[in-house]
Chains A and B, each alone.
Chain A
Amino acid sequence: MFSRATENSQEGAGAAGSVLLPVVCSLTPGLHQFKFFVDGEWRHDERQPFLTGNYGIVNTIYLPPESALLSPRTPNSRVGMDLDNEPSPPMAAEPDGSMQDTALRISEADIKLSRSRISIFLSSHTAYDLFPDSGKVIALDINLPVKQAFHVLYDEGISVAPLWDCARGQFVGVLSALDFILILQELGNRGSNLTEEELETHTISAWKDGKHQMFGQLDEHGRPLQGNIIHAGPYDCLKDVALKILQNKVSTVPIMHSSSQDGSFPQLLHLASLSGILRCICRHFRHTTSSLPILLQPICKIPLGTWVPRSEDQSGRPLVMLRRNESLSLALSLLVQAKVSSIPILDENNSLVDTYSRSDITALAKDRVYAQIHLDEMSIHQALQLGQDAHSTYGGFNGQRCQMCLRSDPLLKVMERLATPGVRRVIIVEAGSKRVEGIISLSDVFRFLLG
């Protein structure tokens, strides 16, 4: 029973007590929910990821589609399935009319020229140029209980903080929103309501150790604690910093400086992100757009981003979206399993109303909501309301939270939007109906610009 409400049971008969009952089913890529029917009873496997859905507790499995490269354009690593109730096969994600009509594509020469100019610019500026004149960085001691760390992130309005280990005199990692999502999921999975004592005494370092054992593959910042934190120096060129961020699939890289040879007594200077680097690029090139010809091209012609397909191709990667009355636990599962950083949220007419991002998890710290609710009892809509009350600077729909643009907007406009602090993705919508057509993130833009 995969994603359909049919009674098509595919379990093979096997002796009780045997551990493995392999069943081979061919599934379309995407997120599927399933359950086992064992000896007349519906069961789920507690060792695999599960959540409470419309059919009770179900296991979930996520299948990334095979990367069928049809063109030299860089594919996006974002995958997922449209989770409306009507079953729809996953469809391709290519900009409209790109394969057939090459006359509409912008010239390779333009792309090459723009890329080389950007490369020169990034190589001749250093991370020091990203620093504000007077900046502030928040750091957390690694022996801080996770619960207090959660509240600190919320109070300070940040979603990532470097971790300081006193005993070693070093920064050893970062704590990010993804950590909290995993913690909440793990605590929720134990069945009962979140116990505050567990969050009270569980330190960040204990969590990181456990996480490394549990999620060996999860490499956000999942390197062993004994390893080195991903960081950069203030004199590293911007190109290296951007590549480091892209290759390690992180959102920020701490910039640190140590005047001694062995790296002791590091000075934490800044948290570099692609957004800051893009701001530098925009600031430099926005008044000289002739030197970067692709800047004025409409984004529908530029091969970047993830798009909702208009045709029925089977290749490419679909876009993850959810309705706002879906449960929060489903959103969090998707964020983790699909490895996306945000999900567009639609209303009943499939119009865009908001986005739910990983960093929104910190809003649950308000009034300790996380301890009072079950994740699957709260809808995404309610979770977003929490966030809006909290940070009034980010106005709900029309403010900085949900940046939208049209497919005909030039690349420069999209880049300017992405360069705004706090914005990591721009959603392309259809004018008027606000239906989602695609999504462009910071890493999409940089992968395209850096070639």
Chain B
Amino acid sequence: MGNVSGKDEIEDSGDDTAPSRSDIDPGSAHVRRIRSVGSAENWPPESTGRSLPPVMFAPQVPVAPLQGAAEAPHVLQQAWMNNPDPALDGPPEKGIPTLITWNYGGNVVLIEGSWDNWTSRRPMQRSGKDCAILMVLPSGVYQYKFIVDGQFRYIPDLPSATDEMGNITNLLDVHDYVPENVESISEFNLPPSPNSSYSWALPTNEDFSKEPPVAPSQLYLTVLGMQNTDEASLKPQHVVLNHLFIEEGSSSQSMVTLGLTQRFQSKYVTVVLYKPMRR
């Protein structure tokens, strides 16, 4: 079996001794620490201290907010889909549904923006006291303003820009991915180490000659080995973060391929290292 799943945590002292955990119960999040093949040297470690990722993770898709349009929520109801904008100059880009709302009263509310160079004004749909419109826009930064009963208005709480003539417009930044909600991750308190004696001996050569324990099935959901189809490659599951993977079959050749996915703030980075194997 080629995949070695193990924590390769390096303490700050640079020492590679890894105290073994007690249990290989696949139901639990604890994994027996096995030193990965061929890496007696230091691998750039994940420096967040604690090694085990939480089993539960925050939902990747935030619930569409009903107040602002700062992020790009997903489609609420299909019935609200407007006709997509006519193709802008250049290669057709993927449109991202974006919801813009106006909650400050008025009878007739229209919206115009830089997505079509201020040529058209669209009416917003009213539901109660609020108005909303669903736009499908390619990723980028746009300016827009509201026309409420014939007057130009903007939302002061949202990002805005002022030009030389003193006109104020709101700014909309449409991302082509959903940014990770960092708050929900960092506030998750990691469980403390369970009570135990922590007196297991390091694995000996005899242990290494045996078959390694079966890796939990969640760890096979790695983004490694997936072809880069386009810029937005798949987002890795949190469970595979900070695990060191070795390419299947490469331990028999003279070169070994190691892969590691880490989180940096709210983005993910996968580093693949090719190392020579000394036999």
Binding site for B on A (CB under 8 A): 128, 131-141, 143-145, 148-149, 152, 156, 164, 166-167, 169, 203, 234, 257, 259-260, 265-270, 283-288, 290-291, 416, 421
**Contact indicator B270/A416 (Cβ below 8 Å):** no
**Contact indicator A137/B268 (Cβ below 8 Å):** no
22 inter-chain pairs at a CB distance below 8 angstroms, sorted by A residue, are A128-B265, A128-B267, A132-B267, A133-B232, A133-B267, A134-B232, A134-B270, A136-B272, A139-B273, A144-B274, A144-B276, A148-B255, A148-B276, A152-B274, A156-B272, A169-B44, A265-B42, A265-B45, A267-B44, A268-B271, A285-B141, A288-B143
Contacts A136-B272, A203-B276, A291-B163 aside, 19 further interface pairs with beta carbons under 8 A come to: A128-B264, A128-B267, A131-B267, A132-B177, A134-B232, A134-B234, A134-B270, A136-B233, A136-B269, A137-B272, A138-B272, A141-B275, A144-B276, A152-B274, A156-B272, A257-B264, A268-B269, A269-B264, A416-B90
* Given A169-B42, A287-B141, residue A135 in contact with residue B273 (CB < 8 A): no
Q: Give every chain A residue within 8 A of B231 (Cβ-Cβ).
A: 132, 421
B206 contacts the other chain (CB 8 A): no
For the complex of A and B, 9 pairs with smallest distance between CB atoms: A166-B41, A133-B177, A287-B114, A141-B275, A134-B268, A259-B47, A136-B270, A284-B141, A131-B267
B150 contacts the other chain (CB 8 A): no
Q: Give every chain B residue within 8 A of A145 (Cβ-Cβ).
A: 276
**Chain A: CB-nearest residue to B10:** A265
**Chain A: CB-nearest residue to B169:** A288
B276 to chain A, nearest CB (A): 5
**Contact for A139 among B42, B163, B271, CB less than 8 A:** B271
B123 to chain A, nearest CB (A): 21
**Contact for B269 among A152, A265, A270, CB less than 8 A:** A270
**Contact indicator B274/A141 (Cβ below 8 Å):** yes
B156 contacts the other chain (CB 8 A): no
**Contact indicator B269/A140 (Cβ below 8 Å):** no
Q: Give every chain B residue within 8 A of A128 (Cβ-Cβ).
A: 264-265, 267
A347 to chain B, nearest CB (A): 27
Q: Give every chain B residue within 8 A of A266 (Cβ-Cβ).
A: 44
| CA A370 to CA B253, docked complex, whole Å | 22
B165 to chain A, nearest CB (A): 11
B189 contacts the other chain (CB 8 A): no
* Given A286-B140, A287-B115, A288-B143, residue A133 in contact with residue B235 (CB < 8 A): yes
Q: Give every chain A residue within 8 A of B265 (Cβ-Cβ).
A: 128
Q: Give every chain B residue within 8 A of A257 (Cβ-Cβ).
A: 264
Q: Give every chain A residue within 8 A of B177 (Cβ-Cβ).
A: 132-133
| CA A135 to CA B177, docked complex, whole Å | 13
Within 8 A of A (CB), among B101-158: 114-115, 117, 139-143
B168 contacts the other chain (CB 8 A): no
A-B CB pair tally, cutoff 8 Å: 125
**Contact for B233 among A132, A156, A287, CB less than 8 A:** A132
**Chain B: CB-nearest residue to A284:** B141
Q: Give every chain B residue within 8 A of A133 (Cβ-Cβ).
A: 177, 179-180, 232, 235, 267-268
**Contact for B276 among A143, A259, A260, A416, CB less than 8 A:** A143
Q: Give every chain A residue within 8 A of B274 (Cβ-Cβ).
A: 138-141, 144, 148-149, 152
**Chain A: CB-nearest residue to B115:** A287
| CA A148 to CA B277, docked complex, whole Å | 12
| CA A149 to CA B42, docked complex, whole Å | 21
A303 to chain B, nearest CB (A): 25
Q: Give every chain A residue within 8 A of B139 (Cβ-Cβ).
A: 283
**Contact for B235 among A134, A139, A140, A143, CB less than 8 A:** A134
Q: Give every chain A residue within 8 A of B180 (Cβ-Cβ).
A: 133
**Contact indicator A134/B141 (Cβ below 8 Å):** no
The tally of residues in B whose CB lies under 8 Å from a CB in A reads 44
B12 contacts the other chain (CB 8 A): yes
A85 to chain B, nearest CB (A): 40
B217 contacts the other chain (CB 8 A): no
Q: Give every chain A residue within 8 A of B10 (Cβ-Cβ).
A: 265
Indicate with 1 or 0, residue by residue over B171-203, a CB within 8 angstroms of chain A CB atoms.
000000101100000000000000000000000
**Contact indicator B270/A135 (Cβ below 8 Å):** yes
B85 to chain A, nearest CB (A): 11
* Given A143-B276, A259-B47, residue A137 in contact with residue B140 (CB < 8 A): no
B262 contacts the other chain (CB 8 A): yes
**Contact indicator B223/A134 (Cβ below 8 Å):** yes
B252 contacts the other chain (CB 8 A): no
Q: Give every chain A residue within 8 A of B12 (Cβ-Cβ).
A: 260
A321 to chain B, nearest CB (A): 28
| CA A148 to CA B262, docked complex, whole Å | 26
**Contact indicator A288/B141 (Cβ below 8 Å):** yes
B28 contacts the other chain (CB 8 A): no
**Contact indicator B232/A132 (Cβ below 8 Å):** yes
| CA A347 to CA B160, docked complex, whole Å | 52
* Given A166-B41, A287-B140, residue A134 in contact with residue B262 (CB < 8 A): no
Within 8 A of A (CB), among B233-279: 233-236, 254-255, 262, 264-265, 267-276
**Contact indicator A135/B47 (Cβ below 8 Å):** no
* Given A141-B276, A166-B42, residue A267 in contact with residue B264 (CB < 8 A): yes
A217 to chain B, nearest CB (A): 30
Q: Give every chain A residue within 8 A of B143 (Cβ-Cβ).
A: 287-288
| CA A290 to CA B41, docked complex, whole Å | 55
B78 contacts the other chain (CB 8 A): no
**Chain A: CB-nearest residue to B12:** A260
Q: Give every chain A residue within 8 A of B42 (Cβ-Cβ).
A: 166, 169, 265
* Given A135-B270, A138-B274, A270-B269, residue A288 in contact with residue B114 (CB < 8 A): yes
Q: Give every chain A residue within 8 A of B233 (Cβ-Cβ).
A: 132, 134-136
| CA A197 to CA B44, docked complex, whole Å | 32
| CA A164 to CA B41, docked complex, whole Å | 11
| CA A164 to CA B143, docked complex, whole Å | 44
**Contact for B267 among A134, A139, A144, A164, CB less than 8 A:** A134
Q: Give every chain B residue within 8 A of A134 (Cβ-Cβ).
A: 223, 232-236, 267-270
B77 contacts the other chain (CB 8 A): no
B205 contacts the other chain (CB 8 A): no
| CA A267 to CA B179, docked complex, whole Å | 21
